[in-house]
Amino acid sequence: MDSWNSTHEPDFILLGLADSAETQLGLFLLFLLIYLVTVLGNAGMILLIRLDPHLHTPMYFFLTHLSVLDLSYSSVITPKALQNLVSSTKIISYLGCLIQLYFFILFAAAECFLLSSMAYDRYVAICKPLHYSVLMSSRLCHILLAGSYIPGLVDSTVNVIFISRLHFCKSNVIRHFFCDISPILALSCTDTSDNELVILTCAAFNSLSLVIISASYVSIFYTILKINSTAGKRKAFSTCASHLLGVTIFYSTLIFIYLKPKQSYSLGKDQVASVFYTIVVPMLNPLIYSLRNREVKSAVLRICRKVMPLGN
């Protein structure tokens, strides 16, 4: 079979998640519902934070951008997955595949570092409360935000450049429901050692975000343990519980997929985990940060009173 790359652009075929029409229809309805909740939840969170001055703090500045990232990388994956579930062809162009991969890596890597910025914010709030307003200045928040997006841009650009240099001749069927790195590399008939080195290097660099998060929470828990009153401990823990839950869900699925030995690869299990962090997690984050947050609930009530004032 002739090899090809970006100089000759045939289509890829995304294998998807199911073969039977009944299962595909069920998944379509489920994913559509999840995506609608994702869009409404994250867009609602962004709007609420912008409208309520009480939420114009560093914590909610980062939470706004977390919602932007969740909405963005869910939109990179879910609409195409929905289309393929009701289509008989399940085709994605070579260029479309690279574009999907580029923005998926960009937004996912940026979210890793944004979560570490949020962890640092919680560290300062709990461990250095008297210096919070000075340490978490607007300038520092914007620097941390830039420090979240820049690694994502570098990660996505380098990976896509190296993938675009590959030649494919084994098959054009991607055994996944979106264009992820490993299924694409599996189709290459050329040496992928450079790509694997790039992936390892990027993974090592992105793991710095997890180191920052871990170090922040070690300091946070140490500080909480030194608080004498039970009420004080509960209040301190509640300020970071939502973020800790979000981090745990996000990183546990990433580690399961990308940091396990190749011998333990399982298409079915990996697809389920991928569905969870590409489609489900973006829906969960606004729920986690709103349902467990009194300030968000109070902001909703204040906005509702403005929109629908009581009285005559």
Domain range enclosing 238: 19-307
- Does residue 7 form part of some domain? no
CATH code where residue 100 lies: 1.20.1070.10
The tokens for 87 are 């289509």
Could you write out the DSSP letters of every residue in 119-158?
HHHHHHHHHSGGGHHHHT-HHHHHHHHHHHHHHHHHHHHH
Whole-number percent of the chain with pLDDT over 90: 36
Which band of pLDDT confidence, cut at 50, 70 and 90, is reported for residue 267? low
- Average of pLDDT values for 241-263? 73
pLDDT of residue 1: 46
Answer for the pair 117, 144: CB distance below 8 angstroms, yes or no: yes
- Does residue 13 form part of some domain? no
Q: Is 131 exposed, middle or buried (0-12, 13-18, 19+ CB in 10 A)?
A: exposed
- Does residue 239 form part of some domain? yes
What is the DSSP-derived secondary structure letter of residue 166? Answer: -
- Average of pLDDT values for 126-136? 90
- Does residue 1 form part of some domain? no
- Average of pLDDT values for 77-92? 89
- Does residue 263 form part of some domain? yes
Q: Which of 216, 168, 204 is nearest to 189 (CA)?
A: 168
CA gap 51, 156 in Å, rounded: 33
- Average of pLDDT values for 187-208? 87
Q: Which of 242, 292, 279, 206 is nearest to 125 (CA)?
A: 242
- Average of pLDDT values for 75-98? 90
Measure CA 218 to chain center. Answer: 23
- Does residue 138 form part of some domain? yes
Task: Count the domains in the chain.
Answer: 1
pTM of the full structure: 0.87
For the four alpha carbons of 172, 175, 178 and 181, in that order, the dihedral sign comes to negative
- Does residue 312 surpass a pLDDT of 50? no
CA gap 28, 296 in Å, rounded: 31
pLDDT digit string, tens, across residues 270-284: 777 788 888 888 998
Residue with tokens 């990179």, as numbered in its chain: 76
- Does residue 312 form part of some domain? no
- Does residue 205 form part of some domain? yes
Higher pLDDT among residues 61 and 247, named by residue: 61
Which band of pLDDT confidence, cut at 50, 70 and 90, is reported for residue 80? very high
Higher pLDDT among residues 299 and 215, named by residue: 215
- Mark residue 13 as left, alpha or beta (left: phi above 0; alpha: psi -120 to 50; beta: remaining): beta
- Does residue 262 surpass a pLDDT of 70? no
pLDDT digit string, tens, across residues 57-66: 999 999 999 9
For the four alpha carbons of 249, 251, 254 and 258, in that order, the dihedral sign comes to negative
Lowest mean pLDDT across 44-58, 133-147, 234-248: 234-248
Which band of pLDDT confidence, cut at 50, 70 and 90, is reported for residue 35? very high
Beta strands in the chain (DSSP E): 11-14, 91-93, 173-174
